[in-house]
Amino acid sequence: MTILRRALDGLYLVSAGLAALSLFGIFATMMAQVFLRQGNIQLPGADDFTAYLCVATTFFALAYTFKRGELIRVGLFIDKAGPGLRRLIEIAVLLLAAALVAYIVYWTFSDAMFSREIEEVAQGSVPFLIWIPKLAIPLGSGILLIAILDELAIVLRGKKPSYVRAAEERAARGDFSAEM
């Protein structure tokens, strides 16, 4: 395994770890709310923090989930295609996905930087700089873009995409949980 391959896989794993931490943050916030309500105490900003953590959980999990073949994919047409046509379709779809995700990265990063520039704060009970949680979207999307370009490079080299290999390995084990 090359250094680049280890670095990319490490990046995807770190991103998944950030998603897990965000999910744990949601759990911790909700549990704190439950316990504080027993004493008639409100946790200020809990709803805002939970909402931003939901976004962070979603976007940081994208690349890892994509590489493992666990994102929703419609393979009805492509599964019927021969190897040559299938490769062309994979390349076209990965190029389209890269373009769309790059667009998302550009505009969400621009939005976060604009929020930073105007020092925008959350309107909830705890005013915090909103550009900080907004960064989860372009960061998570950026890591997904890297994963898509990684898969494109794999397909261009004539190899089977990681997400296809992962799905086939699960099917060989009799695990169809991600296929539903």
What pTM value is reported for the model? 0.92
- What pLDDT sits at residue 46? 93
State phi, psi for 153 to the nearest 5 degrees. -60, -40
User: Is it the case that residue 120 has pLDDT exceeding 60?
Assistant: yes
User: For residue range 135-162, what is the model confidence (pLDDT) as tens digits?
Assistant: 999 999 999 999 999 999 999 999 999 9
Query: Which residue in this structure is represented by tokens 């190897």?
Result: 83
Structure tokens at 71: 């994102």
User: For residue range 160-180, what is the model confidence (pLDDT) as tens digits?
Assistant: 999 989 888 888 888 776 555
Give the residues across from 129 on adjacent strands. 121
Distance, CA of 108 to CA of 123 (rounded, Å): 20
